[in-house]
Chains A and B, each alone.
Chain A
Amino acid sequence: MSENEITINNYLKYLSERKLMGSKCKKCGQVDVPARKLCSKCIKPATEWTEMSGKGKLAAFSSINVGTPYFVKKGYDRKKPYVFSVIALDEGPMVSAQLVGVDESHPETIKVGMLVKVKFLKVEVEGLPEKVDLGFEPA
């Protein structure tokens, strides 16, 4: 087992270093994000790390007024909603992430299909370990 094995822990470690890492299959070329040990297409353990450009399009989103306990701890509530989004990366795969830099209280101004780029979100909340969450913002 190499130190750089494709694991969730190593994916999150890369994220903490502000790198969005996927895996690329050496057999069929499939790209997966988050990185996977087994290629999602040919189900062979033939993948290797590959860094994403961080560019993509907004595929789906919701401006959330009643959030998860984690986001409530981050300071969001009914009056201060946050946007959960699914982003289609230029490299192909989709990822879930918070969308920032938009008008969360006027979600009708946010458009599916808009171009976005990665924005690493440093989490410094009392009672939570320091970490980096995946985010995107308008390109």
Chain B
Amino acid sequence: MGKLARKVALVGAGTSKFGQTFPLRRIPEHWTDAWLNAVATVDNGIEPKDIEACYVGNYSADLFNHQGHLGPMISSLVGLNPKPAPRFEGACASSGIAMRQALITIASGLMDVICVCGIEVMTEVPTVGVTDALATASDVTFEYTAGATFPGLYAAIASAHMHKYGTTHEDLMRVAIKNHINGKENPYAQMQRSIKDLMERKIAKVKGAGGEVPDWKDEFDYLKSPSNPPIAWPLHLFDCSLVTDGAACLFLASEDVAKKFTDTPIWITGTGQGSAAIAMHDRTTLTALEATVEASRQAYQMSGRGPKDMQIAEVHDCFTIAEICAMEDLGFYEKGKAVEAIKNKDTYRDGAKPINTSGGLKSKGHPVGATGAAQAVEIFKQMRGIAERDRQMKFDVEIAMTHNLGGSGGTCVVQIYEK
């Protein structure tokens, strides 16, 4: 494993407001919002003339929007033609890959400044189209014909994890409860409500209609009620991330020019990417994601850091079970021990290992191709001390991580950030 030939920094980062916005806000609106928000975070300003390329991460505008060839479309909206504008695809890890490739390009000395776009506008097609488009990130010949949906694959992982380690439905619920509490503090999140808020709103609604008021004592009672129907058992509605439209924008700069843009660059000191067989049945284990283990091994080695050094992390919680697996496969906890940490609230904002302070994919939303870059935006804000509302860490965040998965774990990208 080599080293980066020179240092690379994140000097600006922003997202659009995530939500279900089609037809009011489409690809151009999300991208220009993300761009403007990222430009506003660059202390000394940044102009198109400063940028040498636009790297675009997008899973499938082809299936969601009937639009291919996204690179030049994205770059032309922000005045970056005729510079190179390649597109990168790795399912839900698409913009994690775009960011990593921008990092490698800059480290090589080829370019000094690259703009990274992550984008997905998913609600142009009806739900059945979304399910179908996401399912093509699995093995279409052998998994899809066996009935696998995207939630179904992670549900199968959950069934194996529950069988091997005794993980329970309540453990899964705890992940969702925590992430919604964080998402409430994120003005760019799709769902800015805690599950308790949602429960109380439902009770008020039933009361208002003169119906029989449910006797839910807490969120767990609510989540065990028909308000949380199964989607792919053991996963229920509140175990699943959202269908989201959104974009994220990152500005990466070499150590030679980073100080021109800001006095406080965030250095990306480690990067790793791993792969596993696209079909789960072709892997050696169903309770761990080997691509995560490999991507994090590379990033730890490159940065000289370890799991204990990560003060906060944004991990890929496309489903609640995925956050549990990530906590273990990244080495934060031993296999089967993550649920104990979750029970102890270690992963809350005031816990020992805060995870998904943004609200995660669960509450912030999961515009699949935008997710990897959007994770970097949250880490940038936390490390710069500009996270909105009440979710800014109370301590100085000096080392952090993003973990971005594609499909059911066929692809994984991990990045490590330092001040």
Contact = CB atoms under 8 A, between A and B. Distances in A.
Given A60-B159, A66-B131, A81 B233 contact: yes
Most buried by B among A8, A96, A107: A96
B281 A95 contact: yes
Interface stretch (B80-88, B140-148, B323-331, B385-393): B140-148
Given A8-B141, A59-B160, A84-B148, A65 B230 contact: yes
A66 B232 contact: yes
Interface residues of B, number: 37
Contact of A68 (B149, B155, B280): B149
B128 A69 contact: yes
Interface residues of A, number: 37
Contacts of B145: 70, 133-134
Interface string A35-78: 00000100000000000000000011111111111111000001
B286 interface: yes
Contacts of B56: none
Interface in A112-139: 112-113, 133-134
22 contacts: A40-B282, A59-B286, A60-B156, A60-B157, A60-B159, A61-B159, A62-B158, A64-B149, A64-B155, A65-B231, A65-B232, A68-B149, A69-B128, A69-B132, A82-B147, A84-B152, A85-B156, A86-B280, A86-B286, A96-B281, A112-B159, A134-B146
Given A112-B163, A134-B145, 20 more contacts: A59-B160, A60-B156, A60-B160, A62-B151, A62-B156, A62-B233, A62-B234, A64-B149, A64-B152, A64-B233, A65-B230, A68-B144, A72-B128, A84-B147, A84-B148, A95-B281, A96-B279, A96-B281, A98-B146, A107-B230
Interface of B: 128, 131-132, 135, 139, 141-149, 151-153, 155-160, 162-163, 229-235, 279-282, 286
